[in-house]
Chains A and B, each alone.
Chain A
Amino acid sequence: MVPVYHFLWLGAFLFCAGLMVIITKRNAIMVLLGIELMLNASNLNLVAFNQLHPAHLSGQMFALFVIIVAVCEAAVGLAIVLRVYQHYQTSVPDEVTDLKD
């Protein structure tokens, strides 16, 4: 069996990669991608930790729930990006700056 540490390193890497994508990429679609990476990092963690605590399957069940919620979030997010595009003709959040102090 693959030791659990490998999964945890992969999870941590995915989380950091997701955060990097969110911070550096300018396009809202890329930010959405980064969020998916972060959510999947947590999924990987949950499933891997379930190996350490095999009495219940709660970690794997949680991962299933997270997948569903991530889909809902992406759907709403894309709809919002589309709406912004209709108004501003861009999907780059930096160029959408009507609201500020």
Chain B
Amino acid sequence: MENGLSLTLDHIFSSLFELSPEVILSIGILLVIVVGLVKKDHAITTLLTLLIFSFSFLFVLSDLDTLQQPLLLFQGMLRKDTFSLYLSALVDAAGILTVLMSWRNQREQSHLQEYYALIITVALGAHLLVMSTNFVMVFLSLELISISSYVLTGFSFDKKGAEGSLKYFLFGSVASAVMLYGISLFYGFTGTLEFLSEEFLKNLAGNITPLFFIAGLMVVSGFLYKLAAAPLHPWAPDVYEASPMPVVAFFSTVPKLAGIGVLTRFAMTLKMADQSYDWQSILSVIAILSLTIGNFSALLQKNTKRLMAYSSIAQAGFLLIGVVAFLPQGIHFMLFYATVYVAMNFVVFIYLQYFEKNGFVTIAEFEGIGKTFLWPCVFLLIGFVSLTGLPPTGGFTAKLFIFSSLWDAYQLSGKNILLWLLIFGLLNTVVSLFYYLRIPYYAFIKNRSINITTNILAFENLFGLVLVLLILLFFFSPGLLMGWINKITFVSVIRFPLSVIG
């Protein structure tokens, strides 16, 4: 017994060393709060957060380079593989960009250390969620993301912020309670909480009942909530409108990446265990709904933040297409799409933040500002063109890839629903053209004489230029990124590990 205990402790201890990015983030949360208490200097707190994210990013990248085979940590709680590492790297990159954006936002200056601590907490939750292979870990990391997000929503400290966080909280806690009930049913069917284990699959396969189907839907709905996909999207526009701009940019990337990561693993498991219910078609319907509802509602929006909220719902639909294909290249292309999505989203949000600070909140107010703010509007245009998915931007390549994987899946399985998804995806791309290009249209084509002196935009333009170059690079040589992504083997996403450390 004592021997077993010491072995377990050794295993836990050695697991901790494999988890260096998460350890850095955890220490970082405490460090930011303490430093923020001692030093009131905003620059130091921001710099410290930036350092924490950069270190975590570098550690993830070095792990991604050296990891030979998937590792199972903490006795099957977490699973470190190339898929989770890649998503963690994206999360950290989004974290760095959010901190840079917050640097320019004056509004959060009052509670800066709490703000950064919460941002790091959400990133930590996202790291853990994409690694989770156990329902306990899934629930805990999902709640880590959710509870911090509820608070972050209210960080504009005004009337709208309070309302936004209330709505987010009510929707979110009901979604997680429903998901938990589904998890408890799965535990009853299989007797294990590790959803990638052999035992789970074996016990599930003999247990396919309508109740199983409902439990599956309940768990999936918890993930779709984080993804802001269609039937569970109504919180997104209100929350986005209420939150400060860097937080909106953060919400539209990090929880989505985490949600799509865990959904991919879980959907693969469901599909392997269960032949009688067609999970591919169910996810296709969800993707169609997300695309259609997101794009058509965005057409009616006047506020830029609400526009971006519906745009992010539609983009969640595109991310889902990569999962729906249930093919190795589908997952690779989904990761490619996610990378491009992070870059193009931040280009758009950094300039929307700048314009919001100068009082341009509704789309109509952008009328005629293209001449005064030439470069910001050009970069904003490139961001929007990329979100639409037109050449010569990375968004085009990403959409092309993701549709080609869907086409492959259709040819392989011959399901009509996949063809419908393809058709809806293409049609929605056309629809999205109308609302994405409305802001550049107002800015460049319409004329209005305005007298606003342009302040120095050096920071925004540098930030935007780097991301725009990145987006163009993704178009002209997607092979650079795909080389990285192709290292992620399909086996590593679903099958279980060949080695257990410790």
Contacts and interface: CB of A to CB of B under 8 A. Distances in A.
A65 B140 contact: yes
B139 to A, nearest CB: 7
B169 A38 contact: no
A45 B438 CA distance: 51
Contacts of B57: none
Nearest to A38: B177
Interface residues of A, number: 46
Contact of A42 (B174, B181, B301): B181
Interface of A: 8, 11, 15, 18, 22, 28, 31, 35, 38-39, 41-43, 45-46, 48-49, 52-53, 55-56, 58-59, 61-62, 65-66, 69, 72-73, 76-77, 80-81, 83-84, 86-88, 93, 96-101
Contacts of B20: none
Interface stretch (B143-151, B285-293, B335-343, B464-472): B143-151
Interface string B154-184: 1000111011111101100110011011011
B136 A65 contact: yes
A48 B150 CA distance: 32
Given A38-B174, A73-B143, 17 more contacts: A39-B177, A39-B180, A45-B181, A45-B184, A49-B187, A58-B136, A59-B187, A61-B136, A65-B136, A65-B140, A69-B140, A72-B143, A87-B162, A88-B159, A96-B163, A97-B163, A99-B242
Contacts of B192: 53, 56, 58
A8 to B, nearest CB: 8
Nearest to B146: A73
B139 A41 contact: no
A42 B186 CA distance: 11
A35 B173 contact: yes
Contact of A80 (B162, B183, B301): B162
Given A45-B188, A101-B300, A101-B306, A28 B166 contact: yes
Given A61-B136, A99-B164, A31 B170 contact: yes
A98 B169 contact: no
A91 to B, nearest CB: 9
Given A39-B177, A52-B191, A72 B147 contact: yes
Interface of B: 135-136, 139-140, 143, 147, 150-151, 154, 158-160, 162-167, 169-170, 173-174, 177-178, 180-181, 183-185, 187-188, 191-193, 237-238, 241-242, 297, 300-301, 306
Nearest to B239: A99
Contact of A83 (B147, B165, B193, B297): B165
B177 A93 contact: no
A65 B139 contact: yes
Contacts of A80: 150-151, 154, 162, 165-166, 169
B170 A46 contact: no
B177 A42 contact: yes
A83 B184 contact: no
B308 to A, nearest CB: 14
A44 to B, nearest CB: 8
A99 B147 contact: no
Given A31-B170, A42-B183, A93-B170, A98 B160 contact: yes
B300 A83 contact: no
